[in-house]
Chain A
Amino acid sequence: MAKYKFLLTLLFAVIAQTMWAQGKVISGTVEDAMGPIMMANVVERDANNRIVSATQTDMMGNFSMEIKNPKNKLVFSYVGNKTKIVNIGTQTTFKIKMESENTTVSEVVVKGRRTSSGGLNIDKREISVSQQTFSMDKVDGMAFTSADEALQGEIAGLDIVSNSGNLGAGTSMRLRGVSTLSGNAEPLIVVDDKIFEYDKADFDPENIDEEAFSSLLAVSVDDIADIKVLKDAAATAIWGSQGANGVIMITTKRGARGKPKVTLGYKFTGTWMPKGYDLLNGDNYTMMLKEEFYNPTQSSSATSTINEINYIPAESWAEANNWNKNTDWVKEIKQFGEQHEANFNISGGGQKATFRISGSYSHQLGTIIKQKMDRLTTRLVLDYNVSDRIRFSTNFALTYTDNLKNYTYGSSKSSGSHNNLLAMALAMAPNASIYRMDQYNNNTGEYFLMNPTVNGMTPDDGNYTSSQLSDIVAIGNPVAYANNSWQKEKTYSIVPDFNIKYELLGTENGKTRLTFNGRVYFDIYAYSKPTYMPGSLSNGSYTDSDYNFITNTENNQFKMGSRVELIFTPAFKNEDFYLTMLARYEAGTQKNTYQYIGQNAIPNGIESATIDAHLLSMDNQPSTTKSAWQDFVYNAHFSYKSRYTLGFSLRGDGNSKFGPKNPWFISPSVSLRYNLSEEKFFEPLRKVVSMLGIRGSWGITGSSSVSVDNYFNQYTSRAGRYGTGYYTTMSGMKLDDLRPQKKTGLNLGFNLGLFEDMFEFDLNLYKENTKDLIMQRLPIPTSATWNTSTTLSYGNVGEMENKGWELSVTANKFIKVKKFSVSASVNLAQNVNKLLEMDQRVLDNLNSQPSWSNRGSKSILSRVVVGDPLCSIYGFQNLGVFQYTYDYLTNYNTKQLQLQTQAAARGETYDWNYEAWINQQLAEGKTFPVATDEEGKVIMTNTGVPKHLTYYYGDTEYEFKGGDAIYEDVNHDGTVNELDIKYLGNSLPKMQGGFSFTLQYGNWKLISRFNFRWGNKIINTARMGLESMYGTENQCSSVTYRWRKDGDVTQIPRALYGTGYNYQVSSRFVEDGSFLRFNNLQISYSVPKKQIKKLGLSTLSAYVTMNNLFCWTKYTGIDPEIASGTYTPASDGATTPRSKSITASLSFGF
């Protein structure tokens, strides 16, 4: 609307001008040192600086025009020259000599600058809340796909963990820990004061089997000026019901007055995957499998029918040459990834208008084959000053991404559960061939597709793969998958906004000002993801659900909002007082549509997701969601002599997501700051201590991510038939009393600046309490239900606490020797999470007994315990591997008893005490599967034999044997069961942070950035699979140290196909995930101005950056950067690790 109004006004103005043209005519010439100026602007302005009439000079620099009023001014301007203003008066001819504008500013030190904070301009020294700003200048030339990568390790208390090394996978961000159990735990992202979010209502982060789309991709890193992270509740309270997870405010670059500046940049990044696990080759694999099949049955014919591992000659089996290879599957799917990024921006403007236009295009190839992402972003920023009082501005951003991903079949394929190519390659049988080999071992050029398995069938029975290898068949050929199947994720986003600013009172600082801001904004977003899985990858029949299977997911969002605000800054006679306040009203609506379809039985070769075929599945999830919101904000800032500061804000949120019963959420906040360093008595110290401030704040924020649908009683018509008539069912209760989660935060902060703020310390202590935690599936009495579901979809169930501290230190050029300078920054943070209270019914529901029939990674025991932090890991304590079998003891005893008998026959005495001998052996450190007491002594049964240690959990009792994993029998009852499960650690880091150094020498600059996490535990489920020796999937080379015979001392249990309990979640797979990562090392050189001026350039810089150079860690997996769920522990399922990369970039400015 604002735009149309503006155009209309302009139109009227022009009409008015032609109609009222009258009065006197003036003329003149314009020139500068070089001579007459063509196309110089000559403008007549009135007292309010509004343009009344205008003209331009001709080729000779002459102009003439009719003026409206002799009291007006004439303004002469030309790009590159200083603007000249002349009063008209009675003069009729003008000879104007313009001077060139010297734009080079050596070094501007701005002191006491008031910066924008939540709509108000506040001096940095008066900021009473906890926030930290990161300027993107610091990482110029580095190759980041999105802003979160740039922030990693830079912000105290913001824990950023990359989701995976796949393109566009994004990161998982946690500010001051997790304070929610369901819904989104990510901080709110605000771009240019606009909430940037893609509605993921009813999106359960615990159940994602795939990476969600990283929405931050829509903001080009090159367009970002700075990023401000709002941490405490007082700072985030003005974002009210959405600010509970913290707020990341991104400000994009705008145009500046001056000659048009053009910057061109190009970046090249080469990426590669860090070295991962050493796997078995084909020969070692078949050896291991033979042992694995032999061990449970001890039968000599255990593997006789498994042709695949028997190196059958090709004459007797057609498939033989496909199963005798040494394929390194991981190597086959890895590649050297290239990323090219080109960007340009042009900015400039004059008195009337400033602009910035930018565009960037990037093309990336992943570290795994067939991953490719293209992205185009453009942004247009225009500010137009109608007069000193009125300014229109617009910001128009457009992003397109096209992400070609590997196909995942987590849910569509019943047999397998791998959802990433790397995990498939790790598990795939290394003796299988990539391409089909004929009987003479010639490569036929087609991918090897394994024969199907049928229970009990062997290759000798027909075209089958041995049924023992069903795991392998379920995985399929990773190379074939990568090349023949795909997912094409595409997004479009258009984000325009239109603003008007009107100064109702004074126009400059020092006068009482009242400013009106109006804004209309839109956010249009389209997402589509077709996938295709051709029948050529399936060994099933034409009618199988995954044969020629296509799916399509579409998601569209339209968001529209408008905002009006008034900012009032009274001028006090006593300039020690400063007060500024803001009142704002905002309203908007949003609509999302979502659709998913899956089809199969399509003809070969057709990949279109819209073909008429058998409709296999269609999502009945919310296909359309609507929401509407409105909010009021009042924010005030008062300070006296910059010594005492008081901040206050109040926000009222009305949102359809809160439900009809609680339509409003009120977020108040108060913050105070006292700058001791501004006191008179402090003056002598000020040379050393330039700033000493103490801050305190309190505030309330909220969060709610429940879909609107839950606030209504929903009916499903034609749910079924009773008799011949259809009936309608009710899907459940209306959640009329659901409230947003309410977080109350207290923050105590200290600011210290030394030596003119060369060293700055910022310390924050906080305590945050989240009440009314929203949790899914709240149990209710069955006497109140409408169907088999005995839960409410959501409920407010508990309370959680996060306590911690953050310290950030910056040292700006603290070493300065001539041209050489060093800057550094360090930040540290610690957060302690505790669940204070939780509805017992919900706990019971969450902490259901695990089913131990699904062993291994599937049975991670996730427990939520009141009084404990979330994301804790529970399992057995692993104590190594039993060196000896039970029979070893029995046999030894029998032999000794024989000796005793023989000795007695000879009349000699032969001392033999079975129990004492076992205890002696145990004391020597030998291990047997026998029950022991608290002192480690063997427990003997009443028949005089040692009690056999057993595993008895849920199903049948199993007696441990030599070579089995030892699990601590915590209660010494001779049985390892659920009572022996222990707390093994927690996935939340005890401390995390980062540090960076910047060394500068003249035009040379070296930046190094590090980040670290310390004290977090990870369940290495990848290694669990790679050392299980339970199925037929490939294993890690460490299994060659497996237990084979009595007496072997090793940490790796024996191979057992389909039996045993050797790879339960135990301390063996729980690893310390601490790491220190050398994130970036950048060397840059900007060519001195003098040298490039001849080339017509204003700047020329070159950068070389090495990313993820080293990672110091004890973690044995590929990369310890693994995010935990909101309450489940971190588990490493062999997702693509963060790649290592090197970037070279060039930037030209004209």
Chain B
Amino acid sequence: MKWVMALLLTSCVDTVILPDNKTVDEDYWQKKSEVDAVVGAAYAQLRDEAAIRNMIIWGDFRSDELVVTSTLPTSAAYRTALQQIYSCNIETENAFTSWYPFYSAINYCNLVLEKAEGVIAVDPDYTRGDYDANKAQMLALRSFCYFYLTKVFHDIPVTPGAYLNSSDDLNAPQANPDSVLTMCINDLEEASKYAIAGNTYGDWRDKGYLNQDGINAILADIYLWRGSVNRDASDYEACVKYCDKVIQAKKEAYEQNPRRRWSADDQEKDYYLSEYNTMYNDIFGQTGQNADESIFELQFRNANVTNRGLDQMYFRYNNASSNGYGYLKAASIYGKVDQTGNGVWVNSVDQRLYEYLYDATSSNTEQFGVRKFVATSTAGTSNSADSKRDTRASIPQNWILYRLTDVMLMKAEALVQLYNMGGKAEGDTRNEEAFAICKFINDRALSDANKGSYAMKYSVYRDKMEDLVLAERARELCFEGKRWFDLMRYNYRHTETKADLRKKLSEGYVMNSDVFFELALRKYAVPTAMKAKMRDERYLYMPINQDEVEINTSLVQNPVYKSASKY
């Protein structure tokens, strides 16, 4: 046998053949442009139909914001899946439990992190600095994905690297949120060292790629989340710190480049935001997007790619010509101006009311079409009828992940929590600071003539201020995939016992707070029925997809969910 093996080893024909009709790994990773192209792929993964769709479902539909459109045909594809979520009877086969675009983005991030460094030696145009900038982006994007997933699923698999070979162990083990968040924070802080400034390019790349501002925004978000669950002052402080960095950077960038909004007679401001009459066009309009006040947006517009997930959810459920039939519409509380605070809007001159909703003040409507993202330009200061939507064959609409008002309100939320934390409120101005932020954001959205008619009320009580910030976030950031996580933070701050991020869902949980139920269940006719189906923390997370649990045997399913076949 030995001589045979010896003979085999000295064989003279190379049976490893590189295919010449395919670009293979052995041929790739030679040039700077090739690295950049894979970096682009990582972002493009999150642009996937399923990613945007899930961000809307996970972030908005689960909250009090959205309901299923009443005109949805019985044959519509996701009807059952949506009904399960709405009634909190989610089966593990539910279509909205899939997490693949996030993990494929993570895979691409890991790929760049593993392969790009080697290009420095091959291509003189690709410098260590270029690599560091790419590395920062990829670390940040990966952290963003993990952070998002842990907010939705609690315990998630953390992959060891790019999956290049079928012999790799494909069953990544599940990690608890505490370790995921720690990992994200470490990675982001590492990324922060090399990240480029938020105004480097002067074009879409400043918003399309993660830069210093984006990294700081994600860090602020993570600290705010962890702080809310752990009720930890140092986390809130870190949140404020990173929010300030973003705010400062935005301010400097604006002042260094005085363009449209700051003419000579304008005075210097703390924050530079578009005025009420241009804000929709700047931030969401067909000719706008990638606004100055934006931080991180998934780029559809420049690539002229339809945002199919968005299209389906808010515009046309089957991506076809049936205008006005998105899967989801805003719940009734979004359509009513109610000064008592039971609705979302307290002021009828709030420009956002007209920009973000169709038929906003119509009294006999139970659900309202989402206008944000869908409309191509500003509504003016009156209702736009749902029936008169803009018709467009495709929606190359950017999906916004972070913008300045979000960061400002995060800061406000953290400040409110820090106010009077563990001591007396005397001399503590943080409550006032938070109020100032909310007021600034609210005021800019009010149409000029009536600005004075609504005065936001400051309160010295932390609870009141907490509610005020939350309500302002609902007005400003509705339908942008934020609300459910706002509510979850709110819940974690008010549960009787403190939740523990180090425990997996199968190891322990806390009961949800009543104040959370009051807000979260507003859209239901009989909230008490829903309360029983959401009694504890575990129900706030989504189940892991059944296929995933069956294939990756190391995963433990969220114990409150079952497969359809088990019912």
Contact = CB atoms under 8 A, between A and B. Distances in A.
A654 B11 CA distance: 9
Contacts of A652: 4, 8
11 contacts: A663-B16, A717-B34, A722-B44, A725-B40, A727-B41, A728-B37, A730-B38, A734-B165, A781-B157, A781-B170, A781-B548
Given A650-B4, A654-B11, A724-B303, A712 B41 contact: no
B204 A724 contact: yes
Contacts of A788: 48, 50, 100
B399 to A, nearest CB: 13
B159 A724 contact: no
A726 interface: yes
A1078 interface: no
Contacts of B484: none
A910 interface: no
B164 A733 contact: yes
Given A722-B299, A781-B548, A628 B17 contact: yes
Contacts of A780: 170, 551
Contacts of B16: 656, 660, 663
Nearest to A624: B21
A795 B166 contact: yes
A779 B551 contact: yes
Interface stretch (A178-186, A415-423, A629-637, A1119-1127): A629-637
Interface in A717-770: 717, 719-730, 733-738
A723 to B, nearest CB: 4
A844 B103 contact: no
B200 interface: no
Given A626-B17, A654-B15, A723-B204, A782 B302 contact: no
A727 B35 CA distance: 9
A656 B15 CA distance: 5
Interface size on A, as a range, is 35 or more
Contacts of B37: 717, 725-728
Interface of B: 4, 7-8, 11-26, 28, 34, 36-41, 43-44, 47-48, 50, 98-100, 103-104, 107-108, 111, 157, 159, 163-168, 170-172, 204-205, 208, 299, 302-305, 545, 547-548, 550-552
B159 A783 contact: yes
Nearest to A731: B22
A784 interface: yes
Contacts of B18: 712
A717 B35 CA distance: 11
B98 A782 contact: yes
A658 B16 CA distance: 9
A728 B21 contact: no
A708 to B, nearest CB: 6
Given A587-B13, A634-B4, A721-B303, 14 more contacts: A589-B13, A717-B37, A720-B44, A721-B40, A721-B302, A722-B40, A728-B37, A728-B40, A730-B107, A734-B166, A779-B551, A781-B552, A787-B104, A788-B100
A317 B16 CA distance: 70
A898 interface: no
Contacts of A656: 15-17
Given A632-B4, A722-B299, A725-B36, A782 B545 contact: yes
Most buried by B among A628, A721, A783: A783
Contacts of A840: 550
Contacts of A1135: none
A518 to B, nearest CB: 15
A44 to B, nearest CB: 42
Contact of A715 (B12, B24, B167, B172): B24
A888 interface: no
Sorted from nearest, which 9 A-B pairs have the closest CB atoms? A727-B40, A721-B303, A737-B167, A728-B37, A713-B25, A712-B24, A782-B100, A722-B40, A624-B21
A178 to B, nearest CB: 25
A625 interface: yes
A783 B552 CA distance: 9
B13 A784 contact: no
Contacts of B170: 780-781, 783-784
A9 interface: no
A709 B550 contact: no
A735 B165 CA distance: 6
Given A624-B20, A716-B23, A784-B107, A723 B40 contact: yes
Contact of A783 (B40, B48, B99, B302): B99
A716 B302 CA distance: 21
A897 B249 CA distance: 90
Interface in A654-712: 654-656, 658, 660-661, 663-664, 708-709, 712
Nearest to A719: B41
B38 A728 contact: yes
* Chain B at the A interface: SS class: loop
A366 to B, nearest CB: 36
- Max chain A C-beta neighbours (<10 A), residue from B14, B163, B551: B551
Contacts of B157: 781, 783
A658 B15 CA distance: 9
A785 B107 contact: yes
A736 B165 contact: yes
A478 B452 CA distance: 80
A663 to B, nearest CB: 6
A624 to B, nearest CB: 4
Nearest to A653: B15
Contacts of B36: 725
A729 B164 contact: no
Interface in A875-896: none
A792 interface: yes
A603 interface: no
A779 B547 contact: yes
A728 B34 contact: yes
A728 B41 contact: yes
A780 B47 CA distance: 22
Given A622-B21, A783-B552, A722 B303 contact: yes
Contacts of B40: 721-723, 725-728
A1100 B44 CA distance: 77
A305 interface: no
A721 to B, nearest CB: 4
Contacts of A783: 99-100, 103, 157, 159, 170, 172, 548, 552
Nearest to A714: B22
Contacts of A781: 157, 170-172, 548, 551-552
B551 A841 contact: yes
Contacts of A841: 550-551
Most A C-beta atoms less than 10 A away, residue of B8, B39, B168: B8
B163 to A, nearest CB: 4
Contacts of A729: 41, 44
Contacts of A722: 40-41, 43-44, 47, 208, 299, 303
B548 A782 contact: yes
Contact of A628 (B13, B34, B47, B172): B13
B99 A734 contact: no
A623 interface: yes
A319 B344 CA distance: 66
Contacts of B41: 719, 722, 727-730
Interface in A582-635: 587, 589, 622-630, 632, 634
Contacts of A622: 19, 21-22
A917 interface: no
B159 A784 contact: yes
A461 to B, nearest CB: 24
Nearest to B205: A723
A661 B16 CA distance: 10
Nearest to A718: B37
Contacts of B23: 714-717
Contacts of B168: 733, 784
Contacts of B15: 628-630, 654-656, 658, 663
A786 interface: yes
Contacts of A634: 4
